[in-house]
Amino acid sequence: MALVVQKYGGSSLESADRIKRVAERIVATKKAGNHVVVVCSAMGDTTDELLDLAEQVNPVPPEREMDMLLTAGERISNALVAMAISAQGAEAWSFTGSQAGVVTTAVHGNARIIDVTPSRVTDALEQGYVALVAGFQGVSQDTKDITTLGRGGSDTTAVALAAALNADVCEIYSDVDGVYTADPRIVGNARKLDTVPYEEMLELAASGSKILHLRSVEYARRYGVPISVRSSYSDKPGTTVTGSIEEIPVEQALITGVAHDRSEAKITITGVPDHAGAAARIFRTVADAEIDIDMVLQNISNTAGRTDITFTLSKANGPKAVSELEKIKTELDFSAVLYDDHVGKVSLVGAGMRSHPGVTASFCEALAKAGVNIEIINTSEIRISVLIRDAQLDDAVRAIHEAFELGGDEEAVVYAGSGR
Amino acid sequence: MALVVQKYGGSSLESADRIKRVAERIVATKKAGNHVVVVCSAMGDTTDELLDLAEQVNPVPPEREMDMLLTAGERISNALVAMAISAQGAEAWSFTGSQAGVVTTAVHGNARIIDVTPSRVTDALEQGYVALVAGFQGVSQDTKDITTLGRGGSDTTAVALAAALNADVCEIYSDVDGVYTADPRIVGNARKLDTVPYEEMLELAASGSKILHLRSVEYARRYGVPISVRSSYSDKPGTTVTGSIEEIPVEQALITGVAHDRSEAKITITGVPDHAGAAARIFRTVADAEIDIDMVLQNISNTAGRTDITFTLSKANGPKAVSELEKIKTELDFSAVLYDDHVGKVSLVGAGMRSHPGVTASFCEALAKAGVNIEIINTSEIRISVLIRDAQLDDAVRAIHEAFELGGDEEAVVYAGSGR
């Protein structure tokens, strides 16, 4: 008997009516002869409403209590889905992350899963119940406090459960019906991919694709869990993320898709004295503020023995990074900190570039032909990323998609609200 | 160091603003040098909103899931109060009933507390935190499922915690500032009582007084927990429920107060053949439908060897009781089931009636003088209750309050919304 894990996001659960439709799909999956485990996020607006209430009573709420508060949202949605399933002829039990055996670190608001021991879930399945598990939460191994898992937490819960239960597949439902060769809202003939190997999906996720969160793909890769990306609004097959690029014969390796990212900003520190340790001091300062850095560019020093150091980071962290760097300006004796949030990143991903020389050249030629200037370039074995002006992102995505002939014949279907 | 348990009901917590005011009181109690444990009900409308959502997805929701759903309400309010306390200079941790060690039977929607082992609460107090505990909930000893405690559940949680922690007092906060000699909205010169012994409070609660739930008073009596009934809108001292009537010297025993109850209905089964077993069959039928009976009256049989049997019950159970009795009409060969929901009950409570003969006579004379007809009379050692026409309830309450000189000189203060 196959075991299916399904995850439904907040927009799939935003009303009693949507909840009933989700329940229909779950009951159908059960009646088709599967064991079914379901992970639900909180209903559409719940988390925002709770955050708003919290802010009214305390502008800087203690993190332990924020986790106690927010986890009520998933409790509500999972209980309601269980009730809806019961109304439609199957039986279901809902569990909190803690009850389902999701054990985590003690970091409130951003806990990591240490282990999953889902014995109560297994019992429920053996007794013929559908098991619902609240996503985005667990219990701290050390303190026994309730924790939330940070960004992508519900996807990660679903994949972690699928791994622990040896599920046949983990289906992630949203309002997007699969992984495309590019964002279908930008590229009219973007093609839906049937399958994507784990490493390519990791690169796409890291390059701006919002369909799956990086951590859940990494978790799936490590434990060999196939992820099926599907729409909760249709019955079309989605995209399956599975397999390693190592399994693909060299000649069949392809260029898979184009991702873009509007969420980054660029910081340039100018006139940095060119001695050992200056760059290290700069990056340590940013790291100590718990800010992640993406692309880095360091110019060759000029005749005055000074250089510019440029890096990108999430826009959300921009102001904080600038402020921390201003504090070491005198100490390092650099000229200025420049901040530019009109940048965008576009990336080409595909195992095929390992065996096909000239991909980088074709990539840059396509951008040049479209009049797009490259500011920073960064590559991995299966990815090329460039930083450009954000106003040119759409043109760049289309130019690269065209140059590598990624398009299909059919016009891509774009659902209202797609893009998560 | 004294240990105080405080309980706040839903109307005291109905908005972010009310929550902040409750937090002020809690912080003041802590800063006065006490250990403080707080039990919060769900915020004002939350439980109703959740019930409404539940009904939309399933008109007859499974009870286990209803408990999972409703307990989210208390989780939210307790976390928000903890946050508000933190914003005002003290520290607080919130706990679910399960985390606080409230262990119950497995009956969803109406679980009974089996034991309270509040080790995490004690740890929090020892570390200088205010401990918040979600009311109305616990965890089943057998199934480990989350349960809710039924009517009066939050009051019971508070008293049970106070007992387990050996608290100095359990303060129950609502929008009523104490226990009065009668409902101040009916009797203008009703007096607030300073103290009430447990047995009298039990009788008042059983007779319609909504200030404290019967089960929480019984729990307090059994474990010797003093209950202080106070208003969350003022700093006036409230009424303390403590002590036994056995401790009151006979000459000092008093008549304490008048309670009234509009929630009952009357069922009369007419023309019941007067043989052993007929009454038993009637009461067993009602009991099997899980319906409680209050007052009973059986007439002396008439010349035809038939009698009428009358009893009262909660209006909510009326239709079901009638329908179950109709089913045995042929079997018992009685004439009819009559249903009357225009009845009301008025009761006089006081340990003094044990030692003062003539109380019953004075009681009945007062009603007669007010033109109130008695339909059923029922007494205990410290209580007289009568069933009358509900339209005459206010007059009856005033007449008895007057006849026993219970009034004070000051006009009673009636808060908007008082009466819980």
What does the pLDDT average to over A402-408? 91
Nearest-CA residue of chain B relative to A84? Answer: B57
Please, which pLDDT band fits residue A405 given cuts at 50, 70 and 90? very high
Does B19 contact A57 at a Cβ distance shorter than 8 Å? yes
Judge whether B202 lies within some domain.
no
Give the burial string for B43-70 (b: 16+ CB within 10 Å, else e): bbebbeebeebbebbbeebbebbbbbbb
Pairwise CA distance, residues B182 & B396, whole Å: 11
Please report residues of A whose CB lies closer than 8 A to that of B93. Answer: 64-65
> Min CA distance, A165 vs chain B (Å)?
21
The residues near A389 (Cβ < 8 Å, ≥ 6 apart) are A342, A343, A344, A372, A373, A375
Cross-chain CB nearest to B72 (options A59, A72, A92): A72
Residue A373's pLDDT is 96
Judge whether B218 lies within some domain.
no
Cross-chain CB nearest to B76 (options A16, A61, A69): A69
Please, which pLDDT band fits residue B356 given cuts at 50, 70 and 90? confident
Does A69 contact B83 at a Cβ distance shorter than 8 Å? yes
Whether A413 has a pLDDT exceeding 70, the answer reads: no
- The response to whether B185 counts as a known ligand-binding position is yes
Whether A288 has a pLDDT exceeding 80, the answer reads: yes
The residues near A212 (Cβ < 8 Å, ≥ 6 apart) are A152, A155, A172, A201, A205, A227, A229, A241
Does B86 contact A62 at a Cβ distance shorter than 8 Å? yes
Please report residues of A whose CB lies closer than 8 A to that of B100. Answer: none
Judge whether A52 lies within some domain.
yes
What does the pLDDT average to over A70-85? 97
Please report residues of A whose CB lies closer than 8 A to that of B86. Answer: 58, 61-62, 65
* The residue to which tokens 């005749």 are assigned: A303
Whether B418 has a pLDDT exceeding 50, the answer reads: no
Does A80 contact B87 at a Cβ distance shorter than 8 Å? no
ipTM value for the complex: 0.83
Residue A414's pLDDT is 47
pLDDT tens for each residue of A39-54: 999 998 899 999 999 9
Whether B129 has a pLDDT exceeding 90, the answer reads: yes
Please list the residues that pair with B272 across neighbouring strands: B307
Q: With left for phi above 0 and alpha for psi between -120 and 50, is residue B243 left, alpha or beta?
A: left
Pairwise CA distance, residues A160 & A98, whole Å: 14
Please, which pLDDT band fits residue A152 given cuts at 50, 70 and 90? confident
What does the pLDDT average to over A152-180? 94
Does A61 contact B94 at a Cβ distance shorter than 8 Å? no
Judge whether B227 lies within some domain.
no
Residues A170 and A304 in one domain: no
Domain that holds residue A289: 266-340
Residues B71 and B144 in one domain: yes
Q: Which of B8, B15, B52, B65 is the best mutation test for A, with the most CBs of A within 10 A?
A: B65
Domain boundary residue among B175, B195, B218? Answer: B175
Residues A166 and A95 in one domain: yes
Please, which pLDDT band fits residue A276 given cuts at 50, 70 and 90? confident
Residues A96 and A119 in one domain: yes
Nearest-CA residue of chain A relative to B68? Answer: A79
Whether A250 has a pLDDT exceeding 80, the answer reads: no
Please, which pLDDT band fits residue A416 given cuts at 50, 70 and 90? very low
> Min CA distance, A289 vs chain B (Å)?
25
SS (H, E, C) chain B: CCEEEEEECHHHHCCHHHHHHHHHHHHHHHHCCCEEEEEECCCCCHHHHHHHHHHHHCCCCCHHHHHHHHHHHHHHHHHHHHHHHHHCCCCEEEECCCCCCEEECCCCCCCCEEEECCHHHHHHHHCCCEEEEECCEEEECCCCCEEECCCCHHHHHHHHHHHHCCCCEEEEEECCCCCECCCCCCCCCCCECCEECHHHHHHHHHCCCCCCCHHHHHHHHHHCCCEEEEECCCCCCCEEECCCHHHCCHHHCCCCEEEEECCEEEEEEEEEECCCCHHHHHHHHHHHCCCCCCCEEECCCCCCCEEEEEEEEEHHHHHHHHHHHHCCHHHHCCCEEEEECCEEEEEEECHHHHCCCCHHHHHHHHHHHCCCCCCEEEEECCEEEEEEEHHHHHHHHHHHHHHCCCCCCCCCCCCCCCCC
Does B58 contact A84 at a Cβ distance shorter than 8 Å? yes
- The response to whether A407 counts as a known ligand-binding position is no
Nearest-CA residue of chain A relative to B76? Answer: A69
CB-count exposure of residue A377 (10 Å: 0-12, 13-18, 19+): middle
- The response to whether A153 counts as a known ligand-binding position is no
Nearest-CA residue of chain B relative to A22? Answer: B57
Nearest-CA residue of chain A relative to B78? Answer: A69
> Min CA distance, B224 vs chain A (Å)?
32
Please list the residues that pair with A260 across neighbouring strands: A346
Residues B326 and B380 in one domain: no
- The response to whether B339 counts as a known ligand-binding position is no
Residue A411's pLDDT is 53
Does B87 contact A58 at a Cβ distance shorter than 8 Å? yes
Pairwise CA distance, residues A159 & A1, whole Å: 19
Residue B67: closest CA among B124, B126, B107: B107
Provide the number of structural domains found in chain B.
3
Residues B367 and B333 in one domain: no
Residues B20 and B57 in one domain: yes
pLDDT tens for each residue of A197-243: 999 999 999 999 989 999 999 999 999 999 999 998 888 889 999 99
What does the pLDDT average to over B33-58? 95
Please list the residues that pair with A195 across neighbouring strands: A240
Please report residues of A whose CB lies closer than 8 A to that of B133. Answer: none
Residues of B with CB under 8 A from a CB of A: 16, 19-20, 23, 50, 53-54, 56-62, 64-66, 68-69, 71-73, 75-76, 78-84, 86-87, 91-94, 99, 120, 144
Residues B54 and B144 in one domain: yes
Judge whether A142 lies within some domain.
yes
What does the pLDDT average to over B57-65? 95
CB-count exposure of residue A264 (10 Å: 0-12, 13-18, 19+): buried
Does B78 contact A58 at a Cβ distance shorter than 8 Å? no
Residue A394: CATH number of its domain: 3.30.70.260
* The residue to which tokens 């010797």 are assigned: B224
Residues B169 and B270 in one domain: no
Please, which pLDDT band fits residue B411 given cuts at 50, 70 and 90? low
- Asked whether the beta carbons of A230 and A192 are under 8 A apart, the reply is no
Pairwise CA distance, residues A54 & A69, whole Å: 8
Residue B414's pLDDT is 47
Q: What is the mean pLDDT of chain B?
A: 92
> Min CA distance, B173 vs chain A (Å)?
20
What does the pLDDT average to over B122-143? 96
- Which of A31-40, A149-158, A352-361, B139-148 shows the lowest mean pLDDT across its residues? A352-361
- Which of A144-158, B244-258, B274-288, B348-362 shows the lowest mean pLDDT across its residues? B244-258
Please, which pLDDT band fits residue A249 given cuts at 50, 70 and 90? confident
Residue A364's pLDDT is 95
Residues A309 and A348 in one domain: no
Residue B52: CATH number of its domain: 3.40.1160.10
The bridge status of strand B92-95 relative to strand B130-134 is: parallel
What does the pLDDT average to over A339-352? 95
Residue A122's pLDDT is 97
Domain boundary residue among A340, A374, A391? Answer: A340
Judge whether A160 lies within some domain.
yes
Q: Which stretch of DSSP H or E encloses residue A318? A: helix A318-327
- The response to whether B180 counts as a known ligand-binding position is yes
pLDDT tens for each residue of B365-398: 999 999 999 999 999 989 999 999 999 999 999 9
Judge whether A236 lies within some domain.
no
Residues A91 and A14 in one domain: yes
Please, which pLDDT band fits residue A419 given cuts at 50, 70 and 90? very low
Pairwise CA distance, residues B230 & B236, whole Å: 8
Nearest-CA residue of chain B relative to A15? Answer: B53
pLDDT tens for each residue of B204-256: 999 999 899 999 999 999 999 999 999 988 888 899 999 998 888 877 778 99
Nearest-CA residue of chain B relative to A24? Answer: B57
Residue B420's pLDDT is 32
Please, which pLDDT band fits residue B121 given cuts at 50, 70 and 90? very high
> How many interchain CB pairs under 8 A, A with B?
116
Please report residues of B whose CB lies closer than 8 A to that of A71. Answer: 75
Domain boundary residue among A175, A199, A228? Answer: A175
- Asked whether the beta carbons of B177 and B406 are under 8 A apart, the reply is no
Judge whether A386 lies within some domain.
yes
| Residue A271 to residues A278, A335, A347, B8, Cα–Cα distance (Å) | 11, 5, 30, 62
- The response to whether B407 counts as a known ligand-binding position is no
pLDDT tens for each residue of B285-325: 999 998 999 999 887 777 788 899 999 999 999 999 999 99
Residues A300 and A367 in one domain: no
Predicted structure pTM score: 0.86
Give the percent of chain A with pLDDT over 70: 97
Residue A103: closest CA among A116, A119, A121, A122: A116
Cross-chain CB nearest to A83 (options B58, B71, B92): B58
Please report residues of B whose CB lies closer than 8 A to that of A91. Answer: 62
Q: Which two tokens stand for residue A125?
A: 């399945």
